[in-house]
Amino acid sequence: MLKTIIDLISPKGKFILTKRALLVNPQTPCYNCLQMTFEERIKALKNIPIFKVLPISEVKAVAFSAYEKDFPAKHPLIKEGEKSNLLYFILEGSLRVYKVSQEGEEINLNICGPGDIVGEMAIIDKIPRSASVETLQATKALILKGEDFIKILRVYPEIAIVMLSELNKRIRNIDQNVEDILTKNLRERTWKTLLTLSNYFPKRKVLMSHEELASIVGATRARITEILDLLEKENKIILDHKKIQIC
């Protein structure tokens, strides 16, 4: 059985028992019988940017411990302030990352989609979640438990180095979004948000109500409706019931 597991992770069988023991916990339920096969999880992970530059052994180590889960639209994946030990590799769908101000306003920080990773910071620094994450549409993710992630990092520190690069990119995106809130007018922010969202919806048709878009942009529903009417007059979008087609 041990040789079979080693062969799964490394075709050349170069892993020693102590390394393999770090990755397999006999008390952890086996997720290999779920919908995605081991090979399908490997293929899905290889579409995520950080794994494209890593050796196949690292990809297989994560694929072996990860399991698949589907989430409906508007599902609260992570809540600010909560303690959680799950890491999400997004395969399909889209999500928004936001914080709630003391006045109760939702401040959008980022929009995520396929290829993005969510939740790794709280696992690494072991503090409560710093922001909330909600799905914008039906979303599929591969999930890795925090303790499994830490064990894998100890065996394959190269993963941590690559993830630092991706984390820096995310921080720059958040900084840009905050700068947009401070410097851009509502029309510019709305248009930029729609262009970003259109990357995650088929045929650039954003399935979202005016109220939902308003919560992402940070405006009232009435003001967003005014801006959307203006963008439609400029032939940039076509409005339908809870649908915004980007032209």
- Percent of the chain's residues with pLDDT above 70: 86
- CA pair distance 224, 230, nearest whole angstrom: 10
pLDDT band for 171, please (50, 70, 90 cuts): confident
> In this predicted structure, what is the pLDDT of residue 130?
86
* DSSP three-state, residue 175: helix
Residue 202, exposed/middle/buried by CB under 10 A (0-12, 13-18, 19+)? exposed
The token duo for 54 is 């890593």
In this structure, how many other beta carbons lie within 10 angstroms of the beta carbon of residue 164?
Answer: 10
Residue 244, exposed/middle/buried by CB under 10 A (0-12, 13-18, 19+)? buried
Of residues 18 and 247, the one with the higher pLDDT is: 247
Q: Which of 129, 185, 123 is nearest to 160 (CA)?
A: 123
Cβ atoms 52, 109 nearer than 8 A: no
Express each pLDDT in 55-89 by its tens digit.
999 999 999 999 999 999 999 999 999 988 899 99
pLDDT band for 183, please (50, 70, 90 cuts): confident
pLDDT mean over 133-152: 94
pLDDT band for 177, please (50, 70, 90 cuts): confident
> In this predicted structure, what is the pLDDT of residue 218?
87
> In this predicted structure, what is the pLDDT of residue 27?
37
pLDDT band for 19, please (50, 70, 90 cuts): very low
pTM over 0.75: yes
